[in-house]
Amino acid sequence: MTYWIGAGLLFLAALGLALSGMNEYFFYAGYVVLTFVVLATAWNILGGYAGYVNFGTGAFFGLGSYSAVVLFKALGAPLAVQIVAAAAVGAALGFGVGMLTLRLRGIFFAIATVAILFITETLMVNWRYVGGATGLQLLRPEVMAPFASYTRMLFVVMALLAVLAVSVARYVQVSWIGRGLRAIRDSEEAAECSGVPTLKLKLFACAVSGALMGAAGAPMPMYLSFIEPASSFSLNWGVSALAMPMIGGTAHWIGPVVGALLLGSIQQIVTVTISNEINVLVVGVLLVLFVVLAPDGVVGLFRKWIRSSR
Amino acid sequence: MILSMDLLFEAILFGILLGCFYAAVSIGLSVSFGLLDVPHVAHPALMVAGSYCTYIVAGWGLDPILAGVILMPAFFVLGILIYRFYYETFERRGSEAGVRGLAFFFGLAFIIEVGLILLFGVDQRTVHAPYIGSSLALGEYRIPYRMLVAFGVALVLTAALTLYLSKTFTGRAIKAVAQDEPALRLMGANPVRIKQWAFGIATGASALAGAMLIIVGPVEPALDRLYIGRTFCVVVLAGLGSMTGTLAAGLILGIAESIVLMLFGASWAPAVAFGLLLVVLGVRPQGLFGR
Amino acid sequence: MDPLLKVESLSKHFGGFTALNGVSLEIVQGERFGLIGPNGSGKTTLINCISGALWNDSGSIRFQGSEISKLPAYQRTRLGIARSFQIPRPFHSMSLLENLLVPSAYVVHLRESEGEAEAMKILAMMGLADKARGLASQLSQVELRKLELARAMAARPRLLISDEAMAGLAGAEVDEVLKILFELNAQGITIIMIEHIMQAVMRFSQRVVCLDAGAIICEGTPAAIVQNPDVQRAYLGA
């Protein structure tokens, strides 16, 4: 119950900010940070809970963006429809990736997700309708009533998606599904022999994770007023979506949120003040540091600190 | 589109040269991942780093291949350090090393890539040598000398590693460590030291591979991403750790890529390695020549 | 009376290698059944086929009268076949208690509180009660073997397959595990014991089957098995 009140208040705060006179840049940067909250949370459902490392977040995210653009260009579909469709496409791709877990684990699975990333990118590069390698300029529709700008509206939409993603991850973690996924991560054979329907649970985790990643990609073309394959399907989405939960802590739903807020904010500051390259370097260095020195992430460090100060 | 025999022949010829090159850039990974089971996704990034080091050393007026050879000992030591670190931090602690080890090498790849961008910028770099830029005319076919040089070096590197692994004591110990660690302990050999040595050799080989990479074409920091697909495709297709399999798998990939390039154009080429990789993983993860 | 488990002409190949070649056996309710055989004789393949970790190529496996050879492993566990692993596979990131809560949630469908009560009872019987809240990754070898059995028991099985639960244990520890298995059998659980330690399997079993090269070479009481020349040949290579 406390969770729902907290989540509701946070969302209302986001809405309130968007309607206030706050500087436009805050929403421009905040949107990206919230996108990372969704991606990191989605990644953690499969990677953190079930132990299947997905390097191909960009494939889900990019296909989500492209689904939205296709619907927008062909039918002029509204944003809500675009997001739902992107989630469906993400879930379908997730289901396909889930079938791979029948045969592949560990690095084999991870490398297969990189392959899927590059294959989906190549498909989009060669699809004229969506602009091929050069991409498409997009004209934003008129912004809806209470919002002063389109970016503010997208900020609120992404805040809603973030609350949704975190709620789903939290439900998965605390329910019987979470215990099954943890069992799969520790030993798949033993899980199966303990009555856990491992394939079903893995397909579920892949599809949910994929749907959330796809949904997170849907508003991106409108945010940029532009779409092109190289940045939509970048491997950088994958490293961020992996690094944020690893840095925040993978065992608890709050971990990816902490990691995404922390790393996402640092990235936004670094991008503005220094350079775009440094921000990828920050992700890489922090990822390696945490994986080596604090395997349980910020959440783990915090727990240790609480225990020792008692 | 009708495929003339001439064009097909040319594509296959080019594919064979390209294939040997792919085998050579993958052979380090064939040892580190194929034999040692290290989830070394940073292999292509190290190789591209090798290309940039070659670029620097060649800038002093040395032949790029010679530069690559000179760099091998330094990369050998680097490899030993990386493995030592990986072993102490992940492998020895056992549990959950899987996810964290993967994340470690993935992060390492990004650090190398961005480090190269910061040092050299995102522009493409090339090296100069007498054999770069000119071609050998064989009747109506023209074969670039740089491809022939890479082909030759690739064959030598592959043959040398194959011989080393099958004929020398350490080489056989490396193969043994891949199959049966306890047996090796009984022989009185320390598996960690052998793995460390093997990883050093694999990394040393990637310095030479990097030199070939920059001989074959211009290099940019993000090139490693494409080579994740190519190198892992070759190693998995070969069947983990099989050296002759690596050569055969490289040829399959080279010819496939060359034919796709000719039929559908350059925009489809990156998908060939990844597509082949995905098919192999999905259908026959133990590879064509698997243990 | 129908047998609890009926295996008929079961075969399994790995590439060109025949791991099981037409194995048939019947196990009745409440039996203590021993499965022996030299290394590579197909013991583990046989129980992997029964528990569902491997698919058999041909033949049938009937449990309580119904065919199970096409069912995935988790459904066989739900029907009442539980197993321990030769090399312990604990859920190492969980406490012992949580290890047992996995089958109690997925097989018996107990609520958390009921599951915990039952899990504590099982852990107490295994002598692991004081470690219930500790992590599984911090157990000793013998404790890991007991955890394997405890987790199998949390699925409330009718048939328990114990795969070399005593391998590598010292004499007193073997007796401890053996005592636990006798107690479980006394509660009415049918037990298949795969074991290399002859003395343990002979003491425990009412009936023993010896596998060699994927086929049953003899079957009988422990006393008869020890005397059997085929068994002696398979083991001693004479």
Answer whether B217 touches A (CB < 8 Å): no
Placement of tokens 């030591």 in the chain: B77
Residue with token string 């495929």: B3
- Give the pLDDT score at B48: 95
Alpha carbons C139 and C145: distance in angstroms, whole number? 10
Residue B291 banded pLDDT, cuts 50, 70, 90: very low
Neighbours of B182 (CB within 10 A): 8
Tokens 């290309």, residue?
B51
C-alpha C97/C-alpha B282 separation (Å) is 37
User: Judging by beta carbons within 10 Å of its beta carbon (0-12, 13-18, 19+), is residue A224 exposed, middle or buried?
Assistant: middle
pLDDT tens column, C93-148: 899 999 999 999 998 888 888 888 999 999 998 888 888 888 888 888 888 988 99
Q: Mean pLDDT, to the nearest integer, of C225-238?
A: 75
Instruction: List CB contacts (< 8 A) between A187 and chain C.
Output: 89-92
The whole-number pLDDT of residue C172 equals: 85
User: Cβ separation of A195 and C94 shorter than 8 Å?
Assistant: no
- The residues of B whose Cβ lies within 8 A of any Cβ of C are 95-96
* pLDDT over threshold 80, residue B2: no
Using CB atoms within 10 Å of the CB of residue C30, give its burial: 0 to 12 exposed, 13 to 18 middle, 19+ buried: middle
Q: What is the token pair recorded at A239?
A: 């490293």
CA A76 from centre of chain = 25
pLDDT value of residue B183 = 67
**Residue A154: CB partners within 8 Å, gap ≥ 6?**
A27, A31, A219, A222, A223
pLDDT for the residue numbered B97: 60
pLDDT (0 to 100) of residue C227 = 83
Contact B151, B158 (CB under 8 A): no
Per-residue model confidence as pLDDT tens digits over C191-208: 999 988 788 888 899 999
- B141 has which bridge partners? B138
Residues in chain A within 8 Å Cβ distance of B232? 111
Q: What CA–CA distance (Å, rounded) separates A275 from A266?
A: 12
Q: Quick one: what percent of chain B has pLDDT higher than 70?
A: 93
Task: State the burial class of residue C67 (Cβ atoms within 10 Å of its Cβ: 0-12, 13-18, 19+).
Answer: exposed
Q: Touching check for A133 and chain C: CB below 8 Å?
A: no
Average pLDDT over residues B271-288: 84
Share of chain B above pLDDT 90, in %: 39
State residue B3's pLDDT score.
60
Q: What pLDDT was estimated at residue B173?
A: 85
- Separation between Cα atoms, residue A237 and residue A221, nearest integer Å: 15
Query: Is the complex ipTM more than 0.95?
Result: no
The nearest CA of chain C is from the CA of B74 a distance in Å of 39
Counting Cα atoms < 13 Å in the Cβ hemisphere of B14 gives 19
The answer to whether A189 faces chain C, any CB pair under 8 Å, is yes
Q: For A27-69, write each residue's pLDDT tens digit.
A: 888 999 999 999 999 999 999 999 999 999 999 999 999 999 9
Task: State residue A276's pLDDT score.
Answer: 76
What angle, rounded to 10 degrees, do the helices at B43-59 and B97-120 form? Answer: 30
What does residue C162 show for φ and ψ, rounded to 5 degrees?
-105, 105
pLDDT mean over C53-69: 90
Chains with ≥3 Cβ pairs under 8 A against A? Answer: B, C
- pLDDT reported for residue C238: 47
Question: Within an 8 Å CB–CB cutoff, is residue C93 touching chain B?
Answer: yes
Measured between CB atoms, does C92 come within 8 Å of chain B? yes
pLDDT tens, position by position, B89-148 = 887 776 556 788 899 999 999 999 999 999 998 888 888 887 777 777 777 777 888 888
pLDDT score, position B10: 83
Dihedral of the CA atoms C214, C220, C226, C229 (nearest 10)?
A: -60
Weakly modelled stretches of chain A, pLDDT under 70: none
The tokens of B281 are what? Answer: 């993983």
